[in-house]
């Protein structure tokens, strides 16, 4: 897990714990029912409430720490392997491709076999004309440069620099 994901999880669970403690502090007004004292009540009650909320979340089907997988993204085998190894952080896809929204956790499927290979977080989705794709975007998309991207994209097509492509920025989360 990278630092951003770890920081986000720590903040979310810290806020969840703080809310749990605040809920228990609300019960302090019922002093006649709680004779153990304010400090132990807040700490023990906060921990118990936190564990109960986590248990309910786990029972609801959401994996703890990652969120639910939404949709899938089909990539050629070579691209899927580069995504799995972490060397490809951008997928350049036809504009017709259905892509889950930015921020969602998604399965990467191997092109023709549809075998799940990895889970990725979609960081950003942008549209761009093929003529406007930059060198660093082509490299991040697994090509050896802009010329190789243009040759590969034009293979079998009538190349038009006004064609739109989707630039999908990815971050590998876990192996599928």
Cα gap 87→90, rounded to integer Å = 9
Among residues of the chain, what percentage have pLDDT more than 70? 81
Cα gap 36→43, rounded to integer Å = 11
**Residue 176: per-residue pLDDT:** 43
pLDDT at 133 over 60: yes
Closest to 57 in 3D by CA, of 67, 43, 70, 44: 67
**Residue 47: per-residue pLDDT:** 83
Question: Over the range 94-119, which residues count as b (16 or more CB within 10 Å of their CB) and which as e?
Answer: eeeeebbeeeebbbbbbeeeeeebbb
**104 touches 71 (CB < 8 A):** yes
Is pTM beyond 0.85? Reply is no
pLDDT at 174 over 60: no
Residues with Cβ within 8 Å of residue 152, at least 6 apart in sequence? 143
Cα gap 122→97, rounded to integer Å = 14
Render pLDDT for 27-83 as a digit per residue (tens, 0 to 9): 666 665 567 777 777 787 788 788 878 877 765 555 555 567 778 888 888 888 888
């Amino acid at each position: 897990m990278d630092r951003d994901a770890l920081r986000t999880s720590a903040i979310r669970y810290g806020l969840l714990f703080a809310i749990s403690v605040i809920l228990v502090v609300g019960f302090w007004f019922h002093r006649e029912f709680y004779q153990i004292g304010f400090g132990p009540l807040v700490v023990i009650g906060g921990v118990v409430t936190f564990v109960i909320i986590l248990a309910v979340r786990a029972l609801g089907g959401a994996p703890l720490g990652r969120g639910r997988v939404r949709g899938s993204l089909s990539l050629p085998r070579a691209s899927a392997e580069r995504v799995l190894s972490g060397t490809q952080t951008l997928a350049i896809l036809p504009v017709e491709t259905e892509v889950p929204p930015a921020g969602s956790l998604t399965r990467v499927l191997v092109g023709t076999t549809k075998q799940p290979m990895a889970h990725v977080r979609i960081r950003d989705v942008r549209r761009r004309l093929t003529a406007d794709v930059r060198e660093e975007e082509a490299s991040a998309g697994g090509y050896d440069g802009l010329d190789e991207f243009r040759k590969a994209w034009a293979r079998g097509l009538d190349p038009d620099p006004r064609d739109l492509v989707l630039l999908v920025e990815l971050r590998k989360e876990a192996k599928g």
